[in-house]
Amino acid sequence: MALPSEVQSGVIHDIGYRNYTGPRLGRSYATRSLYTQSLRAAYGLGRSGKSKVLPMLVLAAMGLPAVVVVAVVVITDLKSLPMDFTQYLTSFGLFPEIFLAAQAPVLLSRDLRHHIVPLYFSRPITRGDYVRAKFAAMASALMLLMTLPMAVLYLGSLLAGLPFGTSTVHLLYGLAAAALYALLYAALGLLIAAATPRRGFGVAAIMGMLVISSVIATFVLGLNGGLRHDPVESANWAATLSPATLVDGLVNQVFGLVTAPQVLHAPGPLAAFVFAAEIAVLVAGSYGLLLRRYRNV
């Protein structure tokens, strides 16, 4: 049966669709872009003003005491910093912990909650690329948070005329400590954040892990005579019970920063090796579990 003439006739419209002929930037570019975007998100950049409040407040709280210390050194003409670089990180260690607890879920939990993760994997990046970019972004954000006050202290020590060599060496000690904190905190925090799509649960779990472990380490240290006027050397093994005290004890022992028996430290070279091995196992193990978590997403 013949079709009506109006059905037989047809028109092809050219609406301008063309194949992409530009450069294919590939996985490495996509991974770098995800890293940059995640690092910016950790500080609320490119997001609403409310998202910037907490990270910027923590950044200011971490850096302001360094400005005060420098002012005291310059005004009173002290011959050394009243607080060393590594000691500064220990004294104000609560701020990186707050930053980690608040921002690690921003990097992972939101993607899980809004089911965005499969969209990333529709691009050239793999699950390993995704985890690597997020881990590097979180570690970099923490490193930036801890490096800023140390840079202020270092510049202040130079302005005050303190010995250049001593200040530079101790700055390197501080940077090494900051790197250990950043790697360990990022690995543990992201692993916990990846376990739940609910940001509030992630914040509470990360902060609880850090605070409770520190309380337990201090409690065990005290029970074993580590808080006395003449502390028991072996009591310092309690530092292995908390991420914060673990790094503090290792750095103090390795860099010779034990100026008094009361300073937390790994009790001897063998203990320093054990402390370092525990950090390596925690970082590698947490990273491996994070990769395993995203194989099922």
Ordered by start, the domain boundaries in the chain are: 25-295
pLDDT at 227: 85
Least confident of 183-192, 222-231, 265-274: 222-231
**C-alpha 209: how far from its chain's center?**
15
pLDDT at 109: 81
Is the pLDDT reported for residue 3 higher than 60? no
Is the pLDDT reported for residue 183 higher than 70? yes
Chain mean pLDDT for the chain: 89
Least confident of 100-114, 162-176, 213-227: 100-114
What's the pLDDT tens digit per position in 228-274?
Answer: 888 888 999 999 999 999 999 999 999 999 888 888 999 999 999 99
Secondary structure string (H, E, C) spanning the chain? CCCCHHHHCCCCCCCCCCCCCCCCCHHHHHHHHHHHHHHHHHCCCCCCHHHHHHHHHHHHHHHHHHHHHHHHHHHHCCCCCCCCHHHHHHHCCHHHHHHHHHHHHHHHHHHHHCCCHHHHHCCCCCHHHHHHHHHHHHHHHHHHHHHHHHHHHHHHHHHCCCCHHHHHHHHHHHHHHHHHHHHHHHHHHHHHHCCCCCHHHHHHHHHHHHHHHHHHHHHHHHHCCCCCCCCCHHHHHHHHHCHHHHHHHHHHHHCCCCCCCCCCCCCCHHHHHHHHHHHHHHHHHHHHHHHHHHHCC
Instruction: Using alpha carbons only, give the angle 94, 235, 267 rounded to the nearest 5 degrees.
Output: 90
**C-alpha 69: how far from its chain's center?**
25
With cut-offs at 50, 70 and 90, classify the pLDDT of residue 141: very high
- Output the CA–CA distances (angstroms, integers) from residue 252 to 87, 184, 273, in the order listed: 9, 17, 13
User: What whole-number distance in Å separates Cα of residue 163 and Cα of residue 224?
Assistant: 39
> Which has the closest alpha carbon to 184: 118, 104, 125?
104
pLDDT average, residue stretch 167-171? 94
pLDDT at 58: 95
Is the pLDDT reported for residue 7 higher than 60? no
Least confident of 17-26, 37-46, 211-220: 17-26
Query: Exposed (0-12), middle (13-18) or buried (19+): which is 227, by Cβ within 10 Å?
Result: middle
